[in-house]
Amino acid sequence: MSIDLEQFHETFFEESFEGLDIMESGLLELEQGEVDLENINTIFRSAHSIKGGSGTFGFTAVAEFTHDMETLLDQMRNGERQVSASVVDTLLGCVDVLRNMLNAIKDGSEIDVASVADMTNALKSILGEESASSVSTNEASPVVAAKGWLVHFKPELDIMKTGNDTVRLLRELNSLAERVEVLVDNEALPSLVEIDPEECYQSWAINLIGGDVSEDDIREVFAWVDDECELNIEPLADEENYVGTERRDDDRRESKTPDRRAIERRNKPAKASESSSIRVNISKVDELINMVGELVITQSMLSQFGEDENFNETYMERLKDGLTQLETHTRELQESVMRIRMMPISFAFQRFPRLVHDLSAHFDKKIELVMTGETTELDKTVLEKIGDPLVHLVRNSLDHGIEAPDVRVQKGKSETGAIHLSAYHQGGNIVIEIKDDGAGLNKAKILEKAKQNGLIGHDDRLTDDQVYDLIFRPGFSTADVVSDVSGRGVGMDVVRRNIRELGGMVEVKSMPGEGSVFTIRLPLTLAILDGQLIGIGEETYILPVISIIESLQVKPECINAVAGNAEVYRLRDEYIPIVRLYQIFGIEPTSEILNEGLLVVVEAEGKKIAIFVDDLLSQQQVVIKSLKTNFKKIEGLSGATILGDGTVALIIDIAELIDLYQKNMARAVVSIKGGGLAA
């Protein structure tokens, strides 16, 4: 029977990466001086599982590498080895190498042999062995008796109490040789009244004749019981005819040891690993099944009305009831389905203790990482894509935010800086904050740099928040020295772009000398949005409810026209630019007169605009269809949806719309200036 082991690889990789994460966080705990036996056991088990699995599924290099790790961990859990910082560091390094190896195998690329060899050597020097290879080489070459064997087998009385069965052993012997003669010795059998049926009183003498049986073959049969029996194996007594029974211990076969550097090569093309599986708690699935059950009941209730010909008013009432029920159940079903995709943010957070540990060493800074809200759940896709931007922000705080210990002491702060990573739900959003107690953003430096790069004019007056927001502009970096961690100038703009692609936004607040807070807001899911439908002329657009601050009727006295064809609306003590959507999208409005329509004030990334619309329509949940995959990316729009009447409505991306508006305004200003010069 041949079984394709490849079908289990996906699961193996998944659990191995999980195991590596467990090992990593366990090791980091160890490093903080908490020597907890259960923790070491957990780390050991993860290494052990990876070793077992990789051996079974044919990843020899991984199995061999893990073997030494396991040996070291085994010594640690048996108390034979002190837990020291250098041991923990080496093991952390091993975790990295192992992760790379597994990734390489998974993608079908080459394993970095050099790093594996380095780490193996590091492990061996700790273990203090020349060769830790477990492959036993001291087996004598198989001894084959030409004629056959005489086996005396006398089991102990309670051999059957470990589930062993003498009949099985005899059956196995029988399958080895060409001819088998068995002599049973019933001498020890007590009288019937004294017999304990659970004990074994017999012993056997067995002749194995022919069939090239080696002594090892026979010992193999008895391997499980060799501590529960007297076993005597000797060549059949025909002195002249047998050869090679002397054990030649010096004839060891070194070549049996496999090449330690053996690498699994797979010529499969690297596959895109995005379509990975998802583990779902059974209770979530049960919930779904329940909801579907409810739906079926509602359906059967409603279908009655289709069959009955005497449709009257009482039926109408019940039909309405049924439809209400249908709506409730559909919504609950939808929520349950969404929950399946929800995962705790700890999956994204768990890499940070390690990252902070490594980077603190790299920068010679002392940093304490505090994480809260790890159980906050968000969509799996969002979760996977938020990892990199988060890493960037944490690195940034560590590199630019937190000061060196001596500088901190001078400023009267504690030597150890703190980075606080937190997540929580707010409205329909998830908010992630990265807060440090470092120096805060350097306003003067940002302004200088922005002027240098032409991001702002020399006379522009900006609020503090506007200044800080400049760091998210493309091509901006204030690092004095470009380090290998951050400060390559491609950074914050990419962070913002990635977060926007997830339908989210990122802002920064900063206090000189006290630190900075980066706040990321993300939608809980990418699939559904609470939308406000608005009408402009014949068209319907959708605004995310989450970005709407208020909607208002226009008071003509509050409208101010400013230079460059722009209009602003005075709302209490703020001036908010008015955006005429029909101009940007080039459509025909019902009216161009402001007080005949409405203004919807929306906010994104700290900026507000007032969108001029003809009418506010209903609010509803809409299913987001990507424009990028179905058509192409259009600036200012985040997607489209299909409304109840079958028409398509476009969903507006507020942050992009604001950018678009600002660009249009800048162009208008330039053209006026240009016109002025020509005149």
Partner 1 sequence: MANILAVDDSSSMRQMVAFTLKGAGYQVVEAADGQEALNKAKSQNFDLVITDVNMPIMDGITFIRHLRGEANYKFTPMLMLTTESSSDKKAAGKAAGATGWIVKPFNPDQLLSTVKKVLG
- Residues binding partner 1 (CB under 8 A): 1-3, 5, 7-9, 11-12, 15, 42, 44-45, 48-49, 51-53, 55-57, 63, 67, 71, 134, 136, 160-165, 167-168, 171-172, 198, 223-225, 227-228
Pairing of strands 429-436, 417-426: antiparallel
Decide whether 51 or 521 has the Cβ nearer to partner 1: 51
- Specify the DSSP element, H or E, that contains 105: helix 85-107
Residue 46, classified by CB atoms within 10 Å of its CB into exposed (0-12), middle (13-18) or buried (19+), is buried
Among the residues of 542-647, which ranges form H helices? 581-585, 627-630
Distance between the two ends of the chain, CA-based, in angstroms?
90
Q: Shortest distance, CB of residue 168 to partner 1, whole angstroms?
A: 6
DSSP for 418-470, written as a single string: EEEEEEEEETTEEEEEEEE-S----HHHHHHHHHHTTSS-TT----HHHHHHG
Q: Shortest distance, CB of residue 172 to partner 1, whole angstroms?
A: 6
Among the residues of 265-312, which ranges form H helices? 282-307
Q: Shortest distance, CB of residue 68 to partner 1, whole angstroms?
A: 11
Decide whether 5 or 642 has the Cβ nearer to partner 1: 5
Q: Shortest distance, CB of residue 376 to partner 1, whole angstroms?
A: 26
Q: Shortest distance, CB of residue 56 to partner 1, whole angstroms?
A: 4
Residue 205, classified by CB atoms within 10 Å of its CB into exposed (0-12), middle (13-18) or buried (19+), is middle
Two tokens, residue 63: 């199995």
Q: Shortest distance, CB of residue 605 to partner 1, whole angstroms?
A: 43
Angstrom distance (rounded) from CA 370 to CA 459: 41
Two tokens, residue 92: 């952390």
Angstrom distance (rounded) from CA 513 to CA 532: 42
Decide whether 172 or 465 has the Cβ nearer to partner 1: 172
Q: Shortest distance, CB of residue 662 to partner 1, whole angstroms?
A: 52
> Which residue out of 48, 357, 392, 400 is catalytically annotated?
48
- Residues contacting residue 123 through CB under 8 Å, at least 6 positions apart: 68, 69, 72, 90, 94, 132
Determine the Cα angle at 359 with ends 356 and 364, to 5°: 115
Residue 535, classified by CB atoms within 10 Å of its CB into exposed (0-12), middle (13-18) or buried (19+), is middle
Decide whether 44 or 472 has the Cβ nearer to partner 1: 44
Decide whether 52 or 190 has the Cβ nearer to partner 1: 52
Decide whether 217 or 614 has the Cβ nearer to partner 1: 217
Decide whether 10 or 327 has the Cβ nearer to partner 1: 10
CA distances from 46 to 69, 417, 576, 619, 628 (A): 11, 33, 57, 50, 41
Active site residue 396: yes
Q: Shortest distance, CB of residue 54 to partner 1, whole angstroms?
A: 8
Decide whether 64 or 379 has the Cβ nearer to partner 1: 64
Q: Shortest distance, CB of residue 69 to partner 1, whole angstroms?
A: 13
Angstrom distance (rounded) from CA 415 to CA 252: 61
Angstrom distance (rounded) from CA 524 to CA 529: 9
Instruction: Look at the block and give the residue holding tokens 């070194």.
Output: 254
Query: Is the CA virtual torsion 140, 142, 147, 151 positive or negative?
Result: positive
- Specify the DSSP element, H or E, that contains 574: strand 574-580
- H helix count then E strand count, the chain: 19, 22
| C-alpha 229: how far from chain center | 52
Decide whether 199 or 433 has the Cβ nearer to partner 1: 199
Decide whether 157 or 670 has the Cβ nearer to partner 1: 157
Q: Shortest distance, CB of residue 19 to partner 1, whole angstroms?
A: 8
Report which of 507, 502, 529, 546 is spatially closest to residue 383, judged by C-alpha positions. Answer: 502
| Beta carbons of 497 and 474 less than 8 angstroms apart | no
Report which of 371, 366, 574, 362 is spatially closest to residue 484, judged by C-alpha positions. Answer: 362
Decide whether 49 or 483 has the Cβ nearer to partner 1: 49
Q: Is 298 helix (H, G, I), strand (E, B) or coil?
A: helix
Q: Shortest distance, CB of residue 52 to partner 1, whole angstroms?
A: 5
Pairing of strands 615-623, 528-536: antiparallel
> Which residue out of 67, 396, 403, 605 is catalytically annotated?
396
Angstrom distance (rounded) from CA 19 to CA 158: 41
> Which residue out of 70, 215, 287, 605 is catalytically annotated?
70
Angstrom distance (rounded) from CA 595 to CA 97: 66
Active site residue 10: no
Active site residue 48: yes
Residues with catalytic roles: 48, 70, 396
